[in-house]
Amino acid sequence: MSKKNKANESYLRLFHIACFTPSIDIYVDYKKYYKAILYEDFTQYMLISQGEHIITLTLHDDLTPIYERNISLSPYKIYTLIFLTDPKHNDKTTLYLIEDIQRSIPPHHCMCRLGHFNYATPLLDFYFTDSTKKDTYKKVSCYEMTPYFPLLINTYSLNTTINLTQKSFITLKNLELKLDRFYTFYIIGNEKKETPPQILLSIDGNSYLRFIKPEVES
């Protein structure tokens, strides 16, 4: 779909995976854009101007910021801003900005990538197994987002194992991946009962968002 964007705008959404944080409100340049975003929730993509912006997060219906940072956005790009817990800094919350890169897709394929944000498992192995039993293998470190890679349209099982022990971790079956889509498999959670490890599948905005760029005068 194409929205009537102004020149030099981009798209931005937020994904809440901070394990110890309840619902949040999101402010952009001190204006509230989203409210009561729960753990595991994505916001919708919003059009936003290029350049510097201040992102402020508060607990829902509380005006005291729990996190704030500046982000810089380039024009005509699609972004996901991940709100997460950083165990390297005593489980403090942080924001991680990634681009949902727009690129061509080979015929008869979709594009997939893997985001590993379960800090209880430092290194995971991923096996996409299709109906012919052919494996596509990826190894992903904690807090790593892989580039997009092509997969033939098919029905897959996704098996994950812990790299050092080869112990089975999470399995997803009967994944029907569709043509010309961009997918991200997010591994989230931790060892706590309230936020167990799981894989969330996102259809990314580069699957359907398009920009209307101004015509260049000759």
Measured CA to CA in angstroms, residue 154 lies from 95, 103, 131 at distances of 34, 21, 7
Between the alpha carbon of residue 56 and those of residues 9, 92, 128, the distances in Å are: 20, 15, 38
List residues bridging with 12 in a β-sheet.
46, 79
At 50 the three-state DSSP class reads coil
More confident residue, 141 or 20: 141
List of residues 6+ apart from 32 with CB closer than 8 A: 25, 26
Determine how β-strand 155-162 pairs with β-strand 123-129.
antiparallel
Question: What pTM does this model have?
Answer: 0.91
Do 104-211 and 1-99 have the same topology in CATH?
Answer: yes
- pLDDT tens per residue across span 55-81: 999 999 999 999 999 999 999 999 999
Spatial separation of the C-alpha atoms in residues 17 and 38, rounded to whole Å: 9
The pLDDT of residue 217 is above 70: no
Higher pLDDT: 192 or 91? It is: 192
Q: What's the DSSP call for residue 180?
A: T
Q: In the structure, what pLDDT confidence band is assigned to residue 91 with cuts at 50, 70 and 90?
A: low
Classify domain 104-211 by CATH number: 2.60.40.2890
User: Each residue of 17-69: pLDDT tens digit?
Assistant: 998 889 999 999 999 999 999 999 999 999 999 999 999 999 999 999 999 99
Its CATH architecture, for the domain 1-99, is: Sandwich (2.60)
The whole-number pLDDT of residue 213 equals 76
Q: Hey, where are the domains in the chain?
A: 1-99, 104-211
